[in-house]
């Protein structure tokens, strides 16, 4: 839980996000303070039966406008900084996801990453870029107001206020600490109430199919009522903070200023206008009272979000980055001959001490079509991971052409090897956008050529917008067979010399299977191909079959 | 999205009436919170006025006797104001929690008859959002919007009337435009623009979340095609457009806030200018002007609150509309209107088929293609049969019709001769139990989870069910046994243990028909063999088992298998025979 803050997380907020709101806030506080001083002078003039000059009047109008303008600029600067910070933080998280590579992640862990990149990023940016500067300005404003009082009205009154004002946060802070336990259990109780309800809603199908919905509703209502009573009891204590803050600020600012105004007036040290101005100026000292609640709430959630992000960034990739680039034509398309693939006494696995493959050697000649057959658990997908450098051997070596995967950069290896998996992820967007994932600069003609070779032309022509048809979330609006043919079209566009087919027809409907097999035949031409399957009966058109794990 | 729409969503007035109708118990505490707030804020105004008044009297009389009464009054009023604020907050929270409780109760009660159709699959995440965020927003509306809205109107009226009577009617008239502009005009300027920008921002956030989860799901594709930089650039562009929308929202809000401030300070200048002219005529003096300024500053806070919640009001109504959609939706399956004597129907039925599908077709609402089409099938009592096919072939849909998650669009289903639509839902779901691929576990004890559908089962029945599901050894290995709490605070079950728990949960209800929907996939081969053996013993030729799976090698021992592809039956027969034929079953077997 206690992850140190990552300096990239802190550094994502531009320095101006803190400095600008403080400067603008201080200017604003000073102009309002001077405004009230002038209001006092004006009142004195009226009391003396004199009239104000037009310069006085102009200043009286201009000062609030300065303050208002400062506020406006500050909110724009802050909004801009929040945007910049959010973008930088999101980039950091997603970059980290890519650096971590292909990981076996539970749904819950994936969900956590998504919420790190969205909710946590928003909270962290809202805290550091959106909150710290303005809050510091609010806290510092009263200091400047007291300085103005000291210079323009009465140094003695200013001195008394200067002594009293710092006492207020101390009282509030002390009270906060004393009630921390109550606040904690209050939040926990309220949280439990929400959690029980949410659980019942999420499990409603199960409840209904087991006829437990009425019982659960009664139980929920009873528990909710108990819990609510407890929450209200805790709240009674917790909310005393509001009483203390309110009383402390009223007494420490307005009541004190009024007392000083009366006493110093009686001493003859203040004019009528100055005394009234002192009272009115005290309203500028209560700014911190309004934000004290936010201060603790946004502060706590913001810091928690920053720690969460730091935790995500602290994770180390399991596969170290390689340096070596692929020889010359790494762009993936154009003419280059098929390459050989070789595993040289490879031992590899995901959990240390539990290798899936042990001392395995095999070689696939350039242009050769080889099938790898064996029951599940025998290490077929481990070999696929090794060839696409999502995994490195613990001993031995894997070569794609002349490239040793231990030395080479992941991108270099993967520019030579394309994998068509059992299931393909499509991104939200059009079919054309999904195809251009494989080659960003592909022309429309090239896309049409690829879908023709993948046997998709007829399907795409039936779609309302052709290649610009959106695929829906994760390709849900397409059949499994269509998605696999899009994967094949992608592989064609990628045009890598080595092709790995990891049971690409195992999840598609029976009707599509023949179409996909045709498309795969086109794709396999002039490439080195490794086909992975459970049993040899699913394998066609290969030069050689390698059986893994013997019995099949 | 799934169920047939009930009523069309009403307008704002209608939504407000609908909400008040369901939360009418709260009106009294809500009224109390409002009264407390109004009085508290008036005391706040009085504090300033009394402070200025004290100064005036000290200077006019020059008498030190003024000091202590003024100070004492200020201290007492400050404390009274703090206590009122405390009570207001407390009653506001009381309203909030009570509103939360009644909205949640209502949500659950109205949603239950719509389950499982409305609560399964794609819509479940959306429902969770409605159950949490939307209910919370409506709660905020009640507890934290209504009292400030009322006091923003009442406090300035009382303060201005007092000024007109006790100070000077002309000065009160000079002040009047300030609260009118701040409460009734400025907050509603550019409302449409804010609303549009807010929605844009919401949409942009949604696109960002979608893009991120796509990226996480598709890491393999992104790395495989060296698409990483493009993906990061896309996300950055989405972030830019979201930030633009956010800047527009805060720009408009900032502009409104600036206007409010300008009007409030402008009011003070106006009081000085107009006041000095009136003072020149001798109608009033400088002290009257000072008191009026104090009132104007005193009502600044209460009136400014309006701007804060006008923007939230749109969100609150949008949330209320989203709740209305769910709560007023008709369930997709209706409870039988005339409960027939189904026991009689069962015994009088001479058929040996426990389940019968007659020309059953079904399409999901809004989908053009049929999920299941023209299925005729009968399952004899005591048989162990299987439905196989790839994912999306319609096999789970077919069995979900059996417990009336949906009703077929065509054809009929019979349970021991009786059309399932004529059976009370409760009885139907007692007699047919479904075990799903991803069972839901509640944060209660292991015992409560297993006994979900049979809370009155005896210890023997419970032990027998645990034995059938091969969960007995695991339970006795736990230090707290059946009392072990599950989920976050308790033991974390493995996928296989979860599936066995779900199996025990179904077996203990003693159903006539047990549907296993991909429900043994996470078991290791040895445990799976044990479970199958014990299930067969449990069924003992009296109970029927329908197994749904894509792993065709698991059902080679079944009495009959039905092969579905794209919702249609493409083959049926004894699995051992089909395995040797060159048909669809054999093709599926080849893939395993």
pLDDT score at B121: 61
Q: Is residue A188 included in any domain, yes or no?
A: no
Same-domain pairing of A310 and A396: no
User: Is A480–B391 a contact, with Cβ atoms under 8 angstroms apart?
Assistant: yes
CB atoms within 10 A of CB A420: 23
Return the number of CB contacts < 8 Å for A and B. 401
- List Cα–Cα distances, A290 to A247, A249, A250, A527, B125, in angstroms: 13, 10, 12, 70, 36
Task: For chain A, say whether B241 makes contact (Cβ under 8 Å).
Answer: no
Same-domain pairing of A356 and A455: yes
Dihedral of CA A235/A237/A243/A248: which sign?
negative
Give the count of alpha carbons within 13 A of A490, CB side only.
29
pLDDT score at B368: 74
For chain A, the first-to-last Cα distance in angstroms comes to 47
SS3 letters for B220-283? HHHHHCCCHHHHHHHHHHHHHHHHHHHHHHHHHHHHHHHHHHHHHHHHHHHHHHHHHHHHHCCC
DSSP B318-372: HHHHHHHHHHTPPPSSPPPSS---HHHHHHH----EEEEEEEEEE--TT-SS-SE
User: Is A414–B226 a contact, with Cβ atoms under 8 angstroms apart?
Assistant: yes
Q: Whole-model pTM above 0.90?
A: no
Kindly state the tokens that stand for B237.
């562009």
User: Is B115–A205 a contact, with Cβ atoms under 8 angstroms apart?
Assistant: yes
Mutate which: B290, B448, B586, vs A, most A CBs within 10 A = B290
CB atoms within 10 A of CB A262: 28
Kindly report whether the peptide bond that precedes residue A547 is cis, defined as omega within 30 degrees of 0: no
Residue A181 CB contacts under 8 Å (≥ 6 apart), including other chains: none
A385 Cα to chain B: minimum distance (Å): 10
Interface of B with A in 494-533 (CB under 8 A): 505, 509
Q: Is residue A414 included in any domain, yes or no?
A: yes
Of A316, A351, A369, the residue that ends a domain is A316
Same-domain pairing of A360 and A490: yes
B439 CB neighbours in chain A (<8 A) are 206
Q: Is residue A379 included in any domain, yes or no?
A: yes
Looking at the DSSP bridge assignments, the partners of residue A404 are A399
Task: For chain A, say whether B364 makes contact (Cβ under 8 Å).
Answer: no
User: Is A86–B242 a contact, with Cβ atoms under 8 angstroms apart?
Assistant: yes
Mutate which: B95, B129, B201, B221, vs A, most A CBs within 10 A = B221
Same-domain pairing of A10 and A145: yes
User: Is B587–A510 a contact, with Cβ atoms under 8 angstroms apart?
Assistant: yes
A344 Cα to chain B: minimum distance (Å): 23
Q: With beta carbons less than 8 A apart as the criterion, state whether A306 and A128 touch.
A: yes
Kindly state the tokens that stand for A440.
């960003």
Q: Is residue A243 included in any domain, yes or no?
A: no
Q: With beta carbons less than 8 A apart as the criterion, state whether A65 and B262 touch.
A: yes
B287 CB neighbours in chain A (<8 A) are 272
User: Is A91–B213 a contact, with Cβ atoms under 8 angstroms apart?
Assistant: no
- List Cα–Cα distances, B230 to A71, A237, A306, A442, in angstroms: 38, 54, 26, 14
Q: What CATH number has the domain bearing residue A357? A: 3.40.50.300
To the nearest 10 degrees (0 to 180), the angle between helices A287-314 and A167-178 is 50
- List Cα–Cα distances, B476 to A236, B460, B532, in angstroms: 45, 15, 21
pLDDT score at A297: 72
Same-domain pairing of A367 and A476: yes
User: Is B391–A46 a contact, with Cβ atoms under 8 angstroms apart?
Assistant: no
User: Is B588–A110 a contact, with Cβ atoms under 8 angstroms apart?
Assistant: no
A410 CB neighbours in chain B (<8 A) are 223
What is the domain range of residue A90? 1-151+293-316
- List Cα–Cα distances, A522 to A103, A366, A449, B183, B236, in angstroms: 31, 17, 12, 71, 37
Question: What is the Cα–Cα distance from B150 to B89, expressed in whole angstroms?
Answer: 15
pLDDT score at B3: 40
pLDDT score at A477: 66
Q: Given the DSSP bridges, would you call strands A544-547 and A369-373 parallel, antiparallel or unpaired? A: parallel
Same-domain pairing of A312 and A364: no
For chain A, the domain total comes to 2
Minimal Cα distance from A375: which residue of B? B592
Smallest Cβ distance to A211: which of B236, B453, B587?
Answer: B453
Kindly state the tokens that stand for A378.
């025998």
Looking at the DSSP bridge assignments, the partners of residue A372 are A532, A546
Q: Which of A147, A544, A231 is nearest to A365 (CA)?
A: A544
Q: With beta carbons less than 8 A apart as the criterion, state whether A120 and A6 touch.
A: no
Enumerate residue ranges in chain B where pLDDT < 50. Answer: 1-5, 344-345, 347-348, 489
Q: Which of B113, B570, B121 is nearest to B366 (CA)?
A: B121
Q: Which of B382, B387, B380, B383 is nearest to B401 (CA)?
A: B387
Minimal Cα distance from A83: which residue of B? B243
Kindly state the tokens that stand for A454.
């993948």
pLDDT score at B118: 80
B67 CB neighbours in chain A (<8 A) are 259, 262-263, 266
Same-domain pairing of A412 and A524: yes
A210 Cα to chain B: minimum distance (Å): 4
Same-domain pairing of A300 and A373: no
User: Is B81–A250 a contact, with Cβ atoms under 8 angstroms apart?
Assistant: yes
B570 CB neighbours in chain A (<8 A) are 510
- Provide the 3-class DSSP secondary structure of residue B288: helix
Question: What is the Cα–Cα distance from A316 to A311, expressed in whole angstroms?
Answer: 10
Q: Is residue A212 included in any domain, yes or no?
A: no
Question: What is the Cα–Cα distance from B120 to A203, expressed in whole angstroms?
Answer: 9
Strand order across the beta sheet in which B513-517 lies: B432-435, B513-517, B544-549, B384-388, B560-565, B568-573
Same-domain pairing of A308 and A410: no
Same-domain pairing of A408 and A502: yes
Domains of chain B in sequence order: 12-327 (1.20.1560.10), 343-591 (3.40.50.300)
- pLDDT tens for chain A, 552 residues: list them: 467 899 999 999 999 999 999 999 999 999 999 999 999 999 999 999 888 888 889 999 999 999 999 999 999 999 999 999 999 999 999 999 999 988 767 777 788 888 899 989 999 999 999 999 998 998 889 999 999 999 999 999 999 999 988 887 788 778 777 777 776 777 777 777 778 888 888 889 889 999 899 998 998 888 778 878 887 888 888 788 888 888 888 888 899 999 999 999 999 899 999 999 999 999 999 877 777 666 667 788 888 899 999 999 998 888 888 777 766 544 444 345 789 999 999 999 888 888 889 999 999 999 999 999 887 778 888 999 999 999 999 999 999 998 999 999 999 999 999 999 888 888 988 999 999 999 999 999 999 999 999 989 988 988 878 899 888 655 556 778 888 999 999 999 999 999 999 888 887 888 888 888 888 998 999 999 999 887 666 677 789 999 887 533
The helix (H) or strand (E) run that includes residue B428 is helix B425-431
Task: For chain A, say whether B68 makes contact (Cβ under 8 Å).
Answer: no
Dihedral of CA A164/A170/A175/A176: which sign?
positive
Mutate which: A124, A196, A427, vs B, most B CBs within 10 A = A427
The helix (H) or strand (E) run that includes residue B573 is strand B568-573
DSSP A183-202: HHHHHHHHHHHHHHHHHHHH
Question: What is the Cα–Cα distance from A445 to B592, expressed in whole angstroms?
Answer: 38
Q: Given the DSSP bridges, would you call strands B513-517 and B432-435 parallel, antiparallel or unpaired? A: parallel
The answer to whether the complex's ipTM is over 0.90 is no
A28 CB neighbours in chain B (<8 A) are none
Of A255, A282, A316, the residue that ends a domain is A316
Question: What is the Cα–Cα distance from A290 to B142, expressed in whole angstroms?
Answer: 21
B540 Cα to chain A: minimum distance (Å): 23
Give the count of alpha carbons within 13 A of A405, CB side only.
30
Task: For chain A, say whether B80 makes contact (Cβ under 8 Å).
Answer: no
Same-domain pairing of A309 and A415: no
Q: Is residue A180 included in any domain, yes or no?
A: no
Q: Is residue A346 included in any domain, yes or no?
A: yes
Interface of B with A in 369-398 (CB under 8 A): 389-393
Minimal Cα distance from B70: which residue of A? A259
pLDDT score at A24: 96
Smallest Cβ distance to B67: which of A35, A90, A263?
Answer: A263
Same-domain pairing of A378 and A440: yes
């Amino acid at each position: 839980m206690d992850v140190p803050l990552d300096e990239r997380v802190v550094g994502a907020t531009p320095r101006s996000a803190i400095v600008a709101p403080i400067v603008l806030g201080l200017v604003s506080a000073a102009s309002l303070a001077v405004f009230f001083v002038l209001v006092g002078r004006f009142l004195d003039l009226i009391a003396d039966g004199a009239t104000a000059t037009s310069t006085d009047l102009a200043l009286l109008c201009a000062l609030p406008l300065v303050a208002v303008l400062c506020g406006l600029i500050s909110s724009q600067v802050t909004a801009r900084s929040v945007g910049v910070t959010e973008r930088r933080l999101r980039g950091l998280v997603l970059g980290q996801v890519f650096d971590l590579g292909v990981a076996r992640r539970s749904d819950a862990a994936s969900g956590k990453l998504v919420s790190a990149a969205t909710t946590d990023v928003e909270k962290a940016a809202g805290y550091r870029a959106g909150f710290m500067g303005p809050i510091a300005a609010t806290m510092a404003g009263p200091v400047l107001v007291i300085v103005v009082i000291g210079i323009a009205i009465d140094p003695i009154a200013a001195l008394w206020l200067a002594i009293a004002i710092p006492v207020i946060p101390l009282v509030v802070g002390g009270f906060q600490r004393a009630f921390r336990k109550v606040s904690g259990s209050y939040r926990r109780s309220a949280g439990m109430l929400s959690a029980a309800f949410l659980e019942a809603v999420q499990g409603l199908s199960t409840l209904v199919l087991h006829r437990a919905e009425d019982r659960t509703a009664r139980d929920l209502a009873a528990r909710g009522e108990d819990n609510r009573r407890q929450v209200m009891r805790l709240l009674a204590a917790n909310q005393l903070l509001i009483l203390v803050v309110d009383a402390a600020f009223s007494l420490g600012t307005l009541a004190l200023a009024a007392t000083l105004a009366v006493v110093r007036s009686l001493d003859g040290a203040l004019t009528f206008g100055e005394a009234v101005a002192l009272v009115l100026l005290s309203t500028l000292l209560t700014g911190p009272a309004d934000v004290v609640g936010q201060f603790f709430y946004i502060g706590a959630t913001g810091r928690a979000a920053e720690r969460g992000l730091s935790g995500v960034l602290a994770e180390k990739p399991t596969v170290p980055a390689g340096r070596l680039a692929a020889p010359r034509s790494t762009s993936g398309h154009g003419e280059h001959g098929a390459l050989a693939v070789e595993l040289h006494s490879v031992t590899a696995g995901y959990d240390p001490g539990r290798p899936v493959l042990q001392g395995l050697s095999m070689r696939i000649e350039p242009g050769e079509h080889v099938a790898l057959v064996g029951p599940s658990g025998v290490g077929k997908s481990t070999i696929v991971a090794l060839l696409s450098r999502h995994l490195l051997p613990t001993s031995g070596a894997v070569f794609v052409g002349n490239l040793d995967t231990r030395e080479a950069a992941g991108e270099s290896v993967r520019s030579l090897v394309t994998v068509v998996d059992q299931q393909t992820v499509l991104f939200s967007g059009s079919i054309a956008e999904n195809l251009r994932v494989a080659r960003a600069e592909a022309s429309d003609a090239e896309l049409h050529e690829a879908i023709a070779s993948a046997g998709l032309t007829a399907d795409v022509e039936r779609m309302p917008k052709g290649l610009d048809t959106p695929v829906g979330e994760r390709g849900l609006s397409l059949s499994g067979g269509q998605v696999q043919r899009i994967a094949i079209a992608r592989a064609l566009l990628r045009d890598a010399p080595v092709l790995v087919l990891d049971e690409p027809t195992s999840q598609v409907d029976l009707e599509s299977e023949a179409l996909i097999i045709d498309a795969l035949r086109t794709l396999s031409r002039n490439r080195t191909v490794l086909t992975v399957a459970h049993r040899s009966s699913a394998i066609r058109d290969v030069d050689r079959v390698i059986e893994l794990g013997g019995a099949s | 999205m799934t169920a047939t729409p009930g009523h069309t969503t009403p307008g704002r007035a209608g939504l407000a009436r609908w909400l008040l109708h369901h939360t009418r118990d709260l009106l009294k505490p809500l009224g109390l919170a409002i009264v407390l707030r109004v009085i508290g804020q008036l005391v706040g105004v009085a504090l300033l006025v009394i402070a200025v008044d004290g100064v005036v009297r000290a200077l006019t009389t020059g008498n030190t006797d003024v000091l202590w009464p003024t100070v004492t009054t200020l201290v007492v009023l400050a404390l009274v104001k703090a206590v009122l604020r405390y009570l207001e907050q407390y009653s506001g929270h009381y309203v909030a929690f009570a509103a939360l409780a009644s909205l949640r109760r209502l949500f659950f009660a109205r949603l239950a008859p719509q389950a499982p159709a409305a609560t399964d699959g794609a819509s479940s995440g959306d429902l969770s959002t409605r159950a949490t965020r939307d209910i919370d927003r409506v709660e905020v509306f009640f507890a934290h919007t209504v009292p400030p809205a009322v006091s923003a109107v009442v406090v300035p009226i009382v303060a201005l009337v007092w000024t007109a009577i006790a100070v000077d009617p002309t000065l009160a008239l000079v002040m009047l435009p300030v609260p009118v502009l701040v409460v009734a005009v400025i907050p509603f300027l550019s409302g449409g623009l804010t609303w549009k920008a807010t929605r844009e921002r919401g949409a942009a956030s949604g696109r960002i979340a979608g893009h991120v989860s796509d990226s996480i799901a598709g890491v393999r594709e992104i790395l495989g095609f060296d698409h990483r930089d493009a993906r990061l650039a896309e996300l950055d562009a989405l972030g830019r457009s979201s930030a633009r929308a956010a800047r527009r929202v805060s720009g408009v809000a900032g502009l409104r806030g600036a206007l409010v401030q300008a009007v409030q300070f402008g009011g003070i200048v106006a009081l000085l200018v107009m006041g000095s002219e009136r003072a020149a005529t001798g109608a009033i003096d400088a002290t009257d002007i000072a008191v009026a300024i104090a009132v104007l500053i005193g009502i600044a806070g209460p009136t400014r609150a309006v701007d804060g919640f006008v923007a939230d009001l749109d969100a609150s109504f949008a949330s209320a509309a989203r709740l209305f959609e769910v709560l007023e939706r008709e369930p997709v399956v209706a409870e039988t209107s005339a409960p027939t004597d189904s026991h009689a129907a069962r015994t009088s039925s001479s058929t040996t088929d426990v389940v019968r599908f007659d020309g059953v077709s079904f399409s999901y609402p809004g989908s053009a293609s049929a999920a299941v089409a023209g299925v005729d099938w009968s399952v004899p009592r005591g048989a162990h049969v299987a439905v196989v096919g790839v994912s999306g072939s319609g096999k789970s849909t077919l069995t979900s019709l059996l417990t009336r998650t949906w009703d077929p669009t065509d054809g009929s289903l019979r349970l021991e001769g009786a059309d399932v639509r004529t059976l009370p839902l409760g009885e139907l779901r007692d007699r047919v139990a479904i075990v799903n691929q991803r069972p839901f576990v509640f944060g209660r004890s292991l015992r409560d989870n297993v006994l979900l559908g049979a809370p009155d089962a005896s210890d023997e029945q419970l032990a027998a069910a645990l034995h059938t599901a091969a969960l007995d050894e695991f339970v006795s290995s736990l230090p707290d046994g059946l009392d072990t709490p599950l989920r976050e605070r308790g033991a974390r079950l493995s996928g296989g243990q979860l599936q066995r728990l779900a199996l025990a949960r179904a077996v203990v209800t003693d159903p006539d028909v047990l549907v296993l929907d991909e429900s043994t996939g996470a078991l290791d081969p040895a445990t799976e063999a044990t479970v199958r053996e014990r299930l067969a013993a449990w069924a003992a030729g009296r109970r029927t088992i329908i197994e749904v799976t894509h792993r065709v090698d698991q059902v080679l021992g079944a009495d009959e298998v039905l092969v579905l592809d794209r919702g249609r039956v493409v083959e049926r027969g004894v699995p051992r025979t089909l395995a040797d034929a060159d048909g669809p079953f054999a093709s599926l077997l080849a893939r395993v």
